[in-house]
Amino acid sequence: MTRTSGTSGTTVRGTAPHEARVALELRELGRRYGRHWALRNATFRLPAGRVCGLVGPNGAGKTTMLEIIAGLRRPTRGEATVFGAPAGSAEARARVSFLPQEKPLFTRFSVADTLRMGRELNPGWDQALAEDFVRAGSVALDAKVGSLSGGQRTRIALAVALGKRPDLVLLDEPLAELDPLVRRQTVGALLAEVAERGITVLMSSHLVAELDTLCDYLLLVSRGGLRLAGDVDELISVHRLLSAHGDAVVDAPDGTPAGLEAHTVVQAQRERRQVSALVRPGGPVTDPWTAAAPTLEEVVLAYLEQGDADALISPNSHVPGTGTEVAA
Amino acid sequence: MVCMKYRIERRRGVAAYQQIVEQTKRALRTGTLRVGDRLPTAREVAETCAVNPNTTLKAYRELEREGVVELRQGIGTFVARAPEPFVPDAGSTLHAELYEWTERALRSGMAEDDVRELLETALARYGDAAGDVLVTEERKGGPA
C-alpha cells in the first residue's frame, strides 16, 4: 500500500526506545458532578507510542477522563497535559483525536462527504490515509452513512479520527458493538496505523479478555480512583496466583487465608475445596501454597472485584513529585 | 518473504511477546523459516494477526539479542541463524526417563488427562521458580 508521507507523524522503528517521550500526563485529576466525584485523584504518565487499555466498572470515570484529555470537559481538580500542552489548548487539541462511544456521524452524508468534512475541519488532514482506511474495509466512498453496518460505521469514524493525523487517539468503547470478525479487522487496521506512525492510543474497553493482544499498557480505575497503571508484561510479572487445598489453609480472623502474611494480597477467595489468592509476593511462597503466573485477565478481574486493593503504579507511569506508590 | 502467521493465546505465564519468540523459533526448527528469510514487519503482523506492533518489536528485539535475527535499519528483520536446539536427542536419558515415567503413570491407572495435568503442575512450579529469579534481578535495579 502506498501512502503520502506526512510531516506531523512520529515513527517507531527498529530498536529505537520510544519510552523517552510522554504522550499524556495526569496530575491529581478529578471531576465532580454536583456532590458526586466521577473521577478522583488520577495521577499517571503514559509513554508515547503505547496502546493503552482503560478498564473499570461503569461509573468509574473512564469517559470523563477521556473527555477531559480531549479538551471537551474541564477538571474540577488537577491537570492533564498532552505532549506537554494543557488539555483543551489549541496545541493539545491539534494533536488529539477523540472517538466517542456514540460515533457522531451524519447518517444522510455519504462516506466521501464525511471525509470532506474531516478535511475542512482539520488543517493537517491526510485524505489518502483516510481513503485507504475506508477502502481497506470494503466500504464504497459514495455509500450513505445511514446504510452502513455498525462495523462499517466504526471504520468510517476511525478513518476520520486517524485522517486528522493525531499523535494521541482516544477511543471510548470502540469495539463494543462489533462482531468478532469485524472487531479483529478493525483492531488490525488500528494497530497497523500504530506500527506505521507510532501514534499513542488510549481506549476504554469492557473486553478484558481481549486486552492482552491489543494493549501493551493498562490503566484500571475504580470508584476509588486509579488502581493499576503500567506496562502489561510488568503488571503481570509482579503478581502471582497462589492456590492451595482448602483443608490445608485456615482463615485468619479478618477472613483472609492464613500463611500469606509476607505478601500483599489483592484478592483471595475460597471455592469449595480450593483457596486461591492473587498476590504481589513479598517473599518466598511457602507450603501448602503453589504459585503460578496469572493472565492479564486474572489480574484485572482481581482488582475489579477488590476495588480497595492497594494501587500499583509502575515506575514508567509514575509522575515525579507526587505521592503515588511505585512498584519494585 | 515467508508468510509467517503468529497466533497469540491467552496462556498463563507466557507473555504475548514470548509466544512470538517461541513461534518464530519453532518455524525455524520445522523449516517454515530459513536463514536469510525476512520476518514480517510489525505492521504486517498487526494487520494480519491483530497483534500489537510493540509486542512484535519486543519479540524481535529479544530474538536479536539471542542472535537469531538481524535488524537491518530501513530494510527489515532477517533470520541470521537457526536457534540452538533445545530438544535433546532421542537417545538421551531425559527422553528415556520421561517415557519410563509416562508408562508407569499410565499403568498405575491414571487417565491421560491426569498425567498431562501432573506435568503441567510440575512445569508451573519450576517454570515459576525461574520467573521469580527474573523478578528478583529486576528489582535489584530499582525503579527506572
Residues β-bridged to residue A98: A170
| Residue B3, pLDDT above cutoff 70 | no
**pLDDT band at residue A96 under the 50/70/90 scheme:** very high
Class of domain A22-233: alpha beta
Q: Where are the domains of chain A?
A: 22-233, 238-317
Contacts of A240 in chain B (CB under 8 A): 128
Beta-carbon separation of B128 and A216 below 8 A: no
Beta-carbon separation of A328 and B10 below 8 A: no
Q: Output the pLDDT for position B131.
A: 41
Beta-carbon separation of A327 and B64 below 8 A: no
Q: Output the pLDDT for position A13.
A: 39
Fold classification of B16-79 (topology level) = Arc Repressor Mutant, subunit A (1.10.10)
Beta-carbon separation of A292 and B135 below 8 A: no
d(CA B67, CA A37): 53
Residues of chain A with pLDDT > 90: what percent? 45
Residue A295 contacts B, CB cutoff 8 Å: yes
Residue with cell 478522583: A40
Contacts of B11 in chain A (CB under 8 A): 295
Mean pLDDT value of segment B74-103: 80
Contacts of B125 in chain A (CB under 8 A): 290-291
Show the CA angle centred on residue A126, arms to residues A190 and A96, nearest 5°.
60
Q: Which has the higher per-residue pLDDT, A50 or B26?
A: A50
Residue of A nearest to B61 (CA): A15
**pLDDT band at residue B126 under the 50/70/90 scheme:** low
Contacts of B131 in chain A (CB under 8 A): 237, 293
CB A232 within 8 A of CB A260: no
> Among B9, B57, B137, which would you mutate to test the A interface (most chain A Cβ atoms within 10 Å of its Cβ)?
B57
Mean pLDDT value of segment A40-51: 92
Beta-carbon separation of A292 and B17 below 8 A: no
Beta-carbon separation of B71 and A209 below 8 A: no
Q: Which has the higher per-residue pLDDT, A53 or A206?
A: A53
**pLDDT band at residue B84 under the 50/70/90 scheme:** low
Mean confidence (pLDDT) of chain A = 85
Residue with cell 489518502: A128
ipTM of the prediction greater than 0.95, yes or no: no
Mean confidence (pLDDT) of chain B = 79
Q: Output the pLDDT for position A84.
A: 94
| Residue A266, pLDDT above cutoff 60 | yes
Kindly give, in sequence order, each residue whose CB lies less than 8 Å from that of residue A327, ignoring residues fewer than 6 positions away.
Answer: A230, A234, A238, A312, A313, A314, A315, B143
Residue of A nearest to B134 (CA): A237
Mean pLDDT value of segment B98-115: 89
A148 CB-side CA count, 13 A: 27
d(CA A193, CA A200): 10
Q: Output the pLDDT for position A259.
A: 76
Instruction: Answer positive or negative: Cα dihedral of B6, B11, B13, B15.
Output: positive
Q: Which three cell numbers stand for residue A43?
A: 495521577
CA-based nearest distance B22→chain A, Å: 16
Residue A250 contacts B, CB cutoff 8 Å: no
Which of A196, A290, A294 has its CB closest to that of B12? A294
Beta-carbon separation of B121 and A290 below 8 A: yes
Model confidence pLDDT, tens digit, residues A8-37: 333 333 334 444 699 999 999 999 999 998
| Residue B92, pLDDT above cutoff 80 | no
Q: Where are the domains of chain B?
A: 16-79, 93-141
**pLDDT band at residue A191 under the 50/70/90 scheme:** very high
Q: Output the pLDDT for position B86.
A: 60
CB B4 within 8 A of CB A157: no
CA-based nearest distance B91→chain A, Å: 32
Q: Output the pLDDT for position A320.
A: 79
Q: Which three cell numbers stand for residue A326?
A: 511505585
Distances (CA, A) of A217 to A17, A188, A206, B136: 16, 17, 15, 22
Residues of chain B with pLDDT > 90: what percent? 33
Mean pLDDT value of segment A244-265: 78
Model confidence pLDDT, tens digit, residues A272-317: 788 889 999 888 887 788 888 898 999 999 998 886 777 888 877 8
Model confidence pLDDT, tens digit, residues A146-178: 999 888 898 899 999 999 999 999 999 988 878
Q: Output the pLDDT for position A114.
A: 94
Contacts of B39 in chain A (CB under 8 A): none
Residues of chain B with pLDDT > 70: what percent? 74
Mean pLDDT value of segment A96-113: 90
Model confidence pLDDT, tens digit, residues A214-226: 899 999 998 778 9
Beta-carbon separation of B13 and A292 below 8 A: yes
d(CA A211, CA A52): 9
Which of A15, A51, A293 has its CB closest to that of B52? A51
Contacts of A294 in chain B (CB under 8 A): 12
